[in-house]
Amino acid sequence: MSMKNTSLLCLLLLLITTSLQAQNILTDTVYRKGIYRTFEEFKTNSPSIELKHSIKSNTSPMPMNDWTSYSVDIEKEESKATGPVYGFCNGYSIYVTCDKPAEMHRPSFEQVLYVGKYSFYQDQGTLNVHPVVTPGGGIGVGVGTGSIPIYDKIINMDTGEVTVLTNGVLKKMMADNPKLLSEFKKDSKKEFRRMKYLKRYLEAKAAAETPQN
C-alpha cells in the first residue's frame, strides 16, 4: 500500500473513531432506532441490536393499577434468545428499565419523558400484598386498597445511577438557584410538577455555564 493510501486510511479510521466518540444522546439531534443492551449504549445513542418489531403498550386491567408500561411486540422465545436489555428506541421515543435489565417481551419498560443531564421517567410501585386468614382457616393473599404510588425517577447520565426524585432531592439540587428554589417551595402542587422544575433548573444551569461571546 502506498504512503498516500496509508495516510487516507488512517484519516478515515480517525474520522470514524471521532464520530463514534462524539455520539451522545444529550446532544445528538436524532435518536437512533434500536435496542440498548446497556446504559452505555443508551448514553451514547448507539443501540447495538436492530429493533424489527413495534413497541407495545400494556395497560393493567385492575382499577387500582391505572398504569401503562411498555414492551416490544415480540415472541417470547425470540425475546429470551436475545436476553435481558436496558431499553429500546423507536427513533423518537425512548423506553428503559433501570432497576434491572429485562427481557423485551415483558411489560417492564417505562418511557423517558425528558432527556437531559438527569433524564426523567416515572415508575409505579408494587401492590401491597400481605398474608390473610381465609374463612376456612387457611392462609391466602390479601391486596391493599387504594391507588399504587407513582415514583418520579431520574437517571444520572454520567453514571447511570437511578434516584427517586422527591421534593427534598429536588430542593438540594436547586440550592444554587435561589429564585427557582423559592418558586418551587411556594408551589402548592409541586409534587406534580417536578419534571418541569428539573428541566428549568438544568436549562438555566447549562445557560449559565455556556461561555458568552
73-84 residue pLDDT tens: 999 999 999 999
In terms of pTM, does the model score above 0.85?
no
Residue where a domain terminates, one of 130, 147, 165: 165
**90 and 35 inside one domain:** yes
**70 and 106 inside one domain:** yes
Asked, for residue 78, whether it belongs to a domain, the answer is yes
User: Quick check: 141 pLDDT over 60?
Assistant: no
Mean pLDDT across the chain: 84
**159 and 208 inside one domain:** no
Query: Per-residue pLDDT tens for 11-66?
Result: 444 444 444 445 899 999 999 999 999 999 999 999 999 999 999 999 876 655 67
**113 and 161 inside one domain:** yes
Instruction: Quote the pLDDT of residue 20.
Output: 45
Instruction: Quote the pLDDT of residue 133.
Output: 54
Instruction: Quote the pLDDT of residue 99.
Output: 80
**174 and 156 inside one domain:** no
**159 and 185 inside one domain:** no
**82 and 107 inside one domain:** yes
Asked, for residue 6, whether it belongs to a domain, the answer is no
Query: Per-residue pLDDT tens for 148-178?
Result: 788 999 999 999 999 999 999 999 999 999 9
Instruction: Quote the pLDDT of residue 209.
Output: 84
**157 and 175 inside one domain:** no
Count of structural domains, the chain:
2
Instruction: Quote the pLDDT of residue 211.
Output: 77
Instruction: Quote the pLDDT of residue 138.
Output: 54
**187 and 174 inside one domain:** yes
64-70-75 Cα angle (round to 5): 120
**136 and 198 inside one domain:** no
Asked, for residue 135, whether it belongs to a domain, the answer is yes
Q: Which residues span the domain enclosing 155?
A: 24-165
Average pLDDT over residues 188-206: 96
**143 and 197 inside one domain:** no
